[in-house]
């Protein structure tokens, strides 16, 4: 038993517990992403659907030369020196107001990654473990994860490594996680 725990060699039932918990966490994260996407859709409608200059909603998409800082210079003229200055110029789809001719940056929407979101949770858990008195929202996230096993969270740490700060992978080792979260190797079959 001790050796299996040490090497994190889970039996079939322990594996099942971890896998069910992972499914639950990913499902929670998916719901969170749905909400973020709905919010982002609203942002997109606000930015792309209404002219910031005259407030009208007679907006179409057009191609335009856009300088590096996002300033929209005007109509597209390929191969001319239309846009001066030293910043890089790229041709982009922009919003164009049919009423006043104003052009502005097209909002393309954000992308959300479940691993990025979970990595943020892990970062908050790390911060909470290091300093439990700092932020109460970190405690909230820590408590939300407290029903999961140390092995489940360790699995997440490995999966989200690409998105995580070094301090997360350094702090959330299986040994430390087992001090804070119950282990599938203890008290369960």
Listed in sequence order, the residues at least 6 apart from 63 whose beta carbon sits closer than 8 Å to its beta carbon are 76, 91, 92, 93, 94
Identify the H or E element spanning 47.
helix 12-49
Q: Does 72 bind Zn ion (CB under 5 A)?
A: no
Residue 83 C-beta: closest distance to Zn ion, Å: 22
- Compute how many residues bind Zn ion; rule: CB under 5 A: 7
Q: Does 100 bind Zn ion (CB under 5 A)?
A: yes
| CA distance linking residue 115 with residue 126, whole number of Å | 16
Residue 60 C-beta: closest distance to Zn ion, Å: 11
Q: Which residue has the tokens 């001790």?
A: 2
Q: Please select the residue that binds Zn ion; options are 99, 110, 134, 179, rule is CB under 5 A.
A: 99
Q: Does 143 bind Zn ion (CB under 5 A)?
A: no
| CA distance linking residue 141 with residue 123, whole number of Å | 10
Chain centroid, CA 120 distance in Å: 8
Q: Does 97 bind Zn ion (CB under 5 A)?
A: yes
Q: Does 46 bind Zn ion (CB under 5 A)?
A: no
DSSP, res 106: P
The nearer residue to Zn ion, 24 or 99, going by C-beta atoms, is 99
Residue 138 C-beta: closest distance to Zn ion, Å: 44
DSSP, res 184: T
Q: Please select the residue that binds Zn ion; options are 48, 73, 102, 169, rule is CB under 5 A.
A: 102
The binding site for Zn ion (CB under 5 A) comprises 51, 53-54, 97, 99-100, 102
């Amino acid at each position: 038993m001790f050796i299996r725990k040490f090497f994190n060699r889970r039996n079939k039932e322990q594996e099942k517990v971890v896998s069910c918990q992972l499914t639950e966490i990913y499902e929670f994260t998916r719901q969170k992403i749905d909400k973020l996407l709905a919010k982002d859709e609203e942002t997109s409608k606000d930015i792309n659907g209404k002219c910031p200059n005259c407030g009208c909603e007679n907006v179409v998409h057009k191609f335009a030369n856009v300088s590096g800082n996002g300033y929209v210079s005007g109509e597209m003229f390929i191969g001319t020196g239309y846009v001066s200055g030293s910043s890089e110029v790229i041709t982009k789809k922009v919003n164009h107001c049919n009423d006043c001719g104003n052009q502005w940056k097209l909002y393309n929407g954000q992308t959300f990654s479940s691993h990025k979101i979970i990595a943020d949770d892990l970062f908050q858990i790390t911060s909470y473990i290091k300093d439990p008195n700092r932020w109460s929202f970190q405690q909230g996230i820590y408590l939300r994860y407290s029903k999961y096993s140390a092995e489940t969270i360790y699995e997440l740490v490995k999966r989200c490594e690409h998105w995580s700060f070094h301090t997360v992978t350094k702090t959330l080792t299986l040994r430390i996680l087992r001090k804070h979260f119950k282990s599938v190797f203890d008290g369960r079959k």
